[in-house]
A and B are shown apart, each in its own frame.
Chain A
Amino acid sequence: MSMPERLKPLLLPLAALLAFEAAMRLAAVQSDSLAPPSAIALALAGALTDGSLLIATRDTLASAFAGLALGGAIGLALGIALGLSHILNRLMEVTIEAIRPIPSVALLPIALIALGFGYRMEIAIVAFACVWPVLIMTRAAVGGIEPRLIEVARVLRLTQLDRVRKIVIPAALPRIFLAFRLAAGIALIVAVTVEIAINPLGLGAGIMTAQQALRPDLMLAYLVWIGVTGFVLNAALMAAQTTLFGRAALTGDGA
Chain B
Amino acid sequence: MAEPALALVQASPPPARAQIAFDNVALTLGGKAIIDTISLEVSAGEILCVVGASGCGKTTALRLAAGLYQPTGGSVRFEGEPMRAPRREIAVVFQDYGKALLPWRTAAGNISLALETIGMPAAQREARITELLAKVGLAGHAAKYPTEMSGGMQQRLQIARCLAQDPKVLLMDEPFGALDAMTRQGLQDEMLALVAATGATVVFVTHDLEEAIYLGDRVVGLLPHPGRVGLELTVDLPRPRDQLATREHPEFLRLRRALFDFIKASE
Contact = CB atoms under 8 A, between A and B. Distances in A.
A155 B86 contact: yes
B114 to A, nearest CB: 6
A149 B100 contact: yes
Interface residues on B, range: 20 to 34
A162 interface: yes
A149 B99 CA distance: 7
A170 B102 contact: yes
B209 interface: no
B129 interface: no
A166 B105 CA distance: 10
A156 B99 contact: no
B94 A151 contact: yes
A148 B68 contact: no
Interface string A143-157: 000101101101111
A167 interface: yes
B94 A157 contact: no
Contacts of A155: 66-68, 86, 90-92
B258 interface: no
Interface string A81-108: 0000000000000000000000000000
Nearest to A162: B117
A186 to B, nearest CB: 28
A166 B100 contact: no
Interface in B69-102: 85-88, 90-92, 94, 96, 99-100, 102
Interface in A125-157: 146, 148-149, 151-152, 154-157
B99 A148 contact: yes
Nearest to A147: B99
B113 A151 contact: no
A157 B102 CA distance: 15
Nearest to A159: B117
A148 B173 CA distance: 13
B66 A157 contact: no
B86 A157 contact: yes
B246 interface: no
A233 B239 CA distance: 67
Given A156-B113, A167-B102, A148 B165 contact: no
Contacts of B165: 156
Given A157-B117, A158-B117, A152 B68 contact: no
A154 B94 contact: no
B113 A154 contact: no
A151 B68 contact: yes
A245 to B, nearest CB: 9
Nearest to B66: A155
A155 B116 CA distance: 14
Contact of A152 (B85, B88, B90, B94): B94
Interface string B99-124: 11010100000000110110000000
Contacts of A156: 86, 113-114, 117, 165
Nearest to A173: B104
A155 B172 CA distance: 13
A35 B68 CA distance: 70
12 contacts: A148-B99, A148-B100, A149-B99, A151-B92, A152-B100, A154-B68, A155-B66, A156-B113, A157-B86, A157-B88, A158-B117, A171-B104
The 3 lowest CB-CB distance pairs between A and B, nearest first, are: A148-B99, A155-B92, A155-B86
Given A155-B68, A170-B102, A171-B102, 17 more contacts: A148-B99, A149-B100, A151-B92, A152-B102, A154-B68, A154-B86, A155-B67, A155-B86, A155-B90, A156-B113, A156-B114, A156-B117, A157-B86, A157-B88, A162-B117, A167-B102, A173-B104
